[in-house]
């Protein structure tokens, strides 16, 4: 005789408070990434005069703009 056993997957309960906190943190992270992407986009469009005004060289601009926005540290 063949007996099949089916394991029920357990679902861990999570409180609404934890779920809301997790959602809030995820939203904050996405907003941080959007801000970084905008800043890098703006930086990439600066000309040499504007770069000199903020104390950056073209090489520093290229290096900063080549970084991935989700890995860039503030």
Residue 6 lies in a domain: no
For residues 24-31, give the mean pLDDT: 95
Residue 7 lies in a domain: no
34 burial (CB, 10 Å; 0-12 / 13-18 / 19+) is exposed
pLDDT one-digit tens code per residue, 38-55:
999 999 999 999 999 999
Q: Report the predicted TM-score, pTM, of the whole model to 2 decimal places.
A: 0.67
Residue 72 lies in a domain: no
Q: Which range, 4-8, 9-13, 25-29, 63-67, is most confident?
A: 25-29
Q: How many domains does the chain have?
A: 1
Residue 41 lies in a domain: yes
pLDDT at site 6: 67
Distance CA 13, CA 50 (A): 54
Q: Distance of alpha carbon 27 from its chain centroid, rounded?
A: 10
pLDDT at site 23: 94
Q: Distance of alpha carbon 25 from its chain centroid, rounded?
A: 11
């Amino acid at each position: 005789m063949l007996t099949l056993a089916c394991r029920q997957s357990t679902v861990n309960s999570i409180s609404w408070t934890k779920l809301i906190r997790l959602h809030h943190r995820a939203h904050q992270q996405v907003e941080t990434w959007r801000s970084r992407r905008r800043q890098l986009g703006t930086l990439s469009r600066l000309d040499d005069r504007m770069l000199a005004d903020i104390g950056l060289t073209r090489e520093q601009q290229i290096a900063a703009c080549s970084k991935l926005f989700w890995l860039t540290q503030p």
